[in-house]
Amino acid sequence: MNRIQQAFEKKQRGLLNIYFTAGYPTLDATVPLIKAISAAGADLIEIGMPFSDPLADGPVIQQSSTVALANGMNMRVLFRQLEGIREEVAETPILLMGYLNPVMQFGVENFCREAAAAGVDGIILPDLPLDDYVAEYQETFRQHNLRPVFLITPQTAPERIRRIDELTDSFLYLVSGPGTTGGQNTQAEGVQEAYFQRIEAMNLRNPRLIGFGIGDKASFQNACQHAEGAIIGSALIRALEGVDDAPGAATRFIQSVIK
Amino acid sequence: MSTTYQKPTERGYYGQFGGAFIPEMLYPNVEELRHNYLDIMAEPAFQEEYQQLLRDYVGRPTPLFEAKRLSEKYNTRIFLKREDLCHTGAHKVNNTVGQILLAKRLGKTRIIAETGAGQHGVATATVCALMGMQCIVYMGEIDMERQKPNVYRMRLLGAEVRAAMSGSRTLKDATNEAIRDWISNPVDTHYIIGSVVGPHPYPDLVARLQAVISEEMRKQLLEKTGSELPQYVVACVGGGSNAAGAFYHFLEEPSVKLVAVEAAGHGVNSGHSAATSVLGKPGIIHGSRTLLMQDEDGQITEPYSLSAGLDYPGIGPLHAFLADSGRARFISIEDEPALKAVAECSRLEGIIPALETAHALAALGQLGAGPDDVVVVNLSGRGDKDLETYIKYADAIM
């Protein structure tokens, strides 16, 4: 059993996955933020690998990526920062989220080896197509015991959802509705509920986390009624903007969501 | 590996380039298009409506004009394929007319587009007006400034022009914003991509819609020269839609030399350039694997060209394949020779070309064409939209 599965076994409901961008707001904020986010009560941590052109993300995460890149963040720096992280944060699952091109340039094999060595548990690459994953990367991911996480949207067909469910042992990332990260959810409540219920009724192997547009206690609690938990990213990034004490700000933000 | 240049594999690959690297949010849209585009385009009713619009609305066939004074200057036989005479002033409308018909048949009610120089935006706004469809065009803030007349044309045609404020605030960023819009509106919206870029099937779809250019060239060359095949076909490449259209029916004719001309900006190695075939390496941008200008960490670097339509860090996957396989020769032209070519074409032939096209014209001296060779330059657009730039650089031009 991997750390992601353990987290879902330990706590069956109300899991909080916190996303932040590596190297934001400062280059050295990465490790202190991981420690603070874990200590504040987040159940999973998703570290964004900044990319110049993050298609699935909204302006808040794009801006944090721009700042992080200007701060000097890159894959080599990130893996160096993550060395020894498992001595600091033993159990909280850590996932890396980013886009395929920087991973390709780093080398997928290299990337997986370094990620595994750092104690990373899962990878989210929204622009990695399912077929390409199976054809080219699945074996490498497996060798390094890294779990892929795939996105599901209201438009994803049932047979594709089943295939995605078969391809991973982590969780399913339910995109709450149309839009990029950090946006307002424009979909009618009833439509959204029907979508979550439809997926719940499929009795899938993997637990589900709802992401996109979750930003405070109310939306988190609402999401938790429809899935095992939720993912918050942009709202945390906003809370880190312009602060001197990023770990402190993250702690306060997380407590405002879960207390 | 594909053995033909014209058709990609089923998953949209031209050799190692192409594919569909898209977030799940776009998957149903792109799949819907992939499953339907060839069937719809093969329908007699579609073809009839498309051909009729090309003829009566766009003004096709466009002339193939023998440019005698340019020919004399370069001591070879030069023909200009007059895409500048298309309705809206560039080849872009060939594609938007086809895609709006496709969008209608897919039941879409809202159209989005990205634009660099504004020609694709104007062509999209035009067909949306014609079909009574809502139209939103994303354009980099910097491009809105340097191509102001096109911004006003789009607005006059009823389109909403939204400024892309991120990154370099040019074509790449406008494309990012258009993709985000599509992610946010997955059911009712069709994204009319303006070049042979993006996830499969767009590169193939746009190439097929632009292929009318080379189809006409062959017929017109036969009439004017006695042979369907020229020795050279020359076209500028940003994303590469006009070049794809000009090359298409010559791709499988090895005797025809295909010449793609990229914008070198201040110089290929100046750090201010858009010469992707030289500076790029394989990477993923806007949904396809292609040659891409990027740093060693895989971050996309910001291209530069005086010409907004060529200011793009990638090229279409077909062009990456043509460059990689050596089927096409790629030439890089800097801003200044392009500006000089504007004056030369204007004075020798009475045709003021778009700044994009001028890059292709500036390559004429480098072809090595002889007196008996036939050279066709795809005159992709007219220069009205660039007048402000031409006025600003009048000293360099005149």
pLDDT digits (tens, 9 = 90+) for A195-228: 999 999 999 999 999 999 999 999 999 999 999 9
pLDDT class for A73, splitting at 50, 70, 90? Answer: very high
Tell me whether B233 touches chain A (CB under 8 Å): no
Same-domain check for residues B238 and B295 = yes
Non-local CB neighbours of B139 within 8 Å, separated by 6+ positions: B114, B115, B116, B118, B121, B147, B151, B161, B162, B163, B164, B174
Instruction: Say if CB B310 and CB B263 are below 8 A apart.
Output: yes
The structural domain count of chain A equals: 1
Does B3 fall in a domain?
Answer: no
CB contact (8 A) between residue A131 and residue B185 = no
Residues of chain B with C-beta less than 8 angstroms from the C-beta of A177: none
The first and second tokens of residue A214, run together, are 């979750």
Q: Are residues B222 and B261 in the same domain?
A: yes
Contact status of B152 with chain A (Cβ, < 8 Å): no
Please indicate, yes or no, whether residues B180 and B273 belong to a single structural domain of this protein: no
Please report, for the domain that includes residue B44, its CATH number: 3.40.50.1100
Same domain, B308 and B223: yes
Q: Does A59 touch chain B (CB under 8 A)?
A: yes
Q: What is the amino acid identity at position B95?
A: N
pLDDT at A189 over 80: no
Mutation for A interface: B13, B16, B22, B24, most A CBs within 10 A: B24
- Give the C-alpha separation, B357 to B341, whole Å: 9
Residue B244 and residue B124 share a domain: no
Active site residues of B: 92, 114, 380
Residue B1: its pLDDT value, please? 46
> What is the span of the domain harbouring residue B256?
59-89+211-397
The chain A residue lying nearest B185, using CA atoms, is A178
Nearest CB neighbour to A55, from listed B28, B179, B187: B179
Q: What percent of chain B has pLDDT over 90?
A: 93
pLDDT(A158) > 50: yes
On whether residue A6 sits in a domain, the answer given is no
pLDDT band at A186 (very low <50, low <70, confident <90, very high): low
CA distance A63 to B167: 10
Conformation bin of residue B286: beta by default, left when phi > 0, alpha when psi is -120 to 50: left
Domain boundary among B206, B221, B241: B206
Which residues of chain B are under the pLDDT cut of 70?
1-3
Amino acid at B70: L
Quick check: B298 and A105 CB within 8 A?
yes
Amino acid at A137: Y
Q: Does B167 touch chain A (CB under 8 A)?
A: yes
Contact A105 B19 (CB under 8 A): no
* Contact (CB<8Å) A129/B19: yes
B48 with B116, same domain? yes
* Residue-wise pLDDT tens digits, A113-155: 999 999 999 999 999 999 999 999 999 999 999 999 999 999 9
pLDDT higher than threshold 80 for residue A190:
no
In-domain check, residue B8: no
Domain residues for the domain of A179 are 12-258
Does any domain span residue B182?
A: yes
Whether B10 contacts chain A with CB within 8 A? no
Is B153 among the domain residues? yes
Q: Among B139, B173, B206, where does a domain finish?
A: B206
Q: Beta-carbon neighbour count of residue B347 at 10 Å? A: 12
A208, B336, B379, B389 from B396: Cα distances, Å: 62, 7, 22, 11
- For residues B186 and B244, membership in a common domain is answered with no
pLDDT for the residue numbered A188: 66
Spell out which residues of chain A touch residue B189, defining contact as CB-CB under 8 Å: none
Is the CB of residue B20 less than 8 Å away from at least one CB of chain A?
yes
Is B21 found in the same domain as B130?
Answer: yes
Measured between CA atoms, the residue of chain B closest to residue A132 is B21
Instruction: Please report the pLDDT score of residue A104 as a whole number.
Output: 96
Percent of chain B with pLDDT over 70: 99
How many folded domains does chain B comprise? 2
B381 touches chain A (CB under 8 A): no
Q: What's the CATH number where A175 sits?
A: 3.20.20.70
The mean pLDDT of A234-246, rounded to a whole number, is 97
Report yes or no on A3 lying in a domain.
no
Q: Are residues B74 and B174 in the same domain?
A: no
Q: Phi first, then psi: give them for residue B248, nearest 5 degrees.
A: -45, -55
Q: Is-contact A124 A46, C-beta < 8 A?
A: yes
Q: Is residue B7 part of a domain?
A: no
In A, which residues are within 8 Å of B285 by CB distance? 53, 101
Average confidence (pLDDT) over A76-104: 97
- Residues from chain A that touch B292, judged by Cβ atoms under 8 A, are 101
Helix (H) or strand (E) holding A89: none
Q: Are residues B29 and B150 in the same domain?
A: yes
Instruction: Among B158, B190, B206, give the residue marking a domain's end.
Output: B206
Residue B146 lies in a domain: yes
Which pTM was predicted?
A: 0.96
The residues in B 258-287 lying below 8 A from A, measured between CB atoms, are: 283-287
Residue A155 at interface with chain B, using a CB cutoff of 8 Å: yes
Pairwise CA distance, residues A156 & A164, whole Å: 10
What ipTM is given for this predicted complex? 0.94
Tens digits of per-residue pLDDT, A3-59? 999 999 999 999 999 999 999 999 999 999 999 999 999 999 999 999 999 989 999
Q: Is residue B163 part of a domain?
A: yes
B117: in domain: yes
Percent of chain A whose predicted confidence (pLDDT) is above 70:
98
Helix, coil or strand: residue A237: helix
Instruction: Count how many pairs of residues, chain A against chain B, have C-beta atoms within 8 Å.
Output: 100
Same domain, B63 and B181: no
B390 and B249 within one domain: yes
